[in-house]
Chain A
């Protein structure tokens, strides 16, 4: 089974802090994603990556950056956290070689910015 592990289930940070959310997958997937999930808005794609050191903006990249230095790890960075970034953050990975493959999700990080 694919395992996607997010480093924290719950995180509390202060406004203006630099925040790192880490995600690791164990299936050698090329494709990795970061979403945020808010009530009534569903999943919104922040950034995705299709290879090491490659990254692409999703629908809501403002205020975020990402890093993919190793294939198995995809990090989301909040450069200067703000209260409107309080949310549930979900990481996912996917095998890119066949388009019929699903995305596999981690358990999420519930981030609160005070």
Chain B
């Protein structure tokens, strides 16, 4: 069974600073990895995903993430934070073998942007 750990339930950065949200996973087989964003009172929206190929993946709104197999990590970054990035971010994993029970989600990280 797979699991996801997001380090830090709350992360605060200044506007214009680097954003780094951490995600570590465990999986017995090669995983597929996802980052979602949730704005207040909305559902989850897909930011980016890693399946195969290039380990650095780019997503919407200037975010990117790098799959590091040796570190079992999939950290999310953005070079320069904007006020509109304030939201809840979820990392998720599924084994490449799939499963009808879907993705396993981390508990989320609330990103706070200081003016």
Inter-subunit contact B49/A50 (CB<8 Å): no
The docked-state distance in angstroms from the alpha carbon of A45 to that of B92 is 13
- Chain B 38-51, CB-CB to A under 8 Å as 1, else 0, gives 00011111100101
CB of B33 to closest CB in A, whole Å: 10
Residue of B nearest to A90 (CB): B43
A residues 28-55 touching B (CB-CB < 8 Å): 31, 33, 40-43, 45, 48, 50
> Contact between A42 and B95 (Cβ–Cβ < 8 Å)?
no
User: Known: A40-B107, A43-B90, A94-B102. Is A99-B96 also a contact (CB below 8 A)?
Assistant: yes
User: Interface residues, chain A, CB within 8 Å of chain B?
Assistant: 4, 9, 31, 33, 40-43, 45, 48, 50, 56, 58, 90, 92, 94, 96, 98-100, 102-108, 110
20 contacts between A and B (CB under 8 A): A31-B102, A41-B107, A42-B106, A42-B107, A43-B90, A43-B105, A48-B100, A48-B101, A90-B43, A92-B44, A94-B102, A99-B95, A99-B98, A100-B49, A100-B52, A103-B44, A105-B36, A106-B43, A107-B42, A107-B43
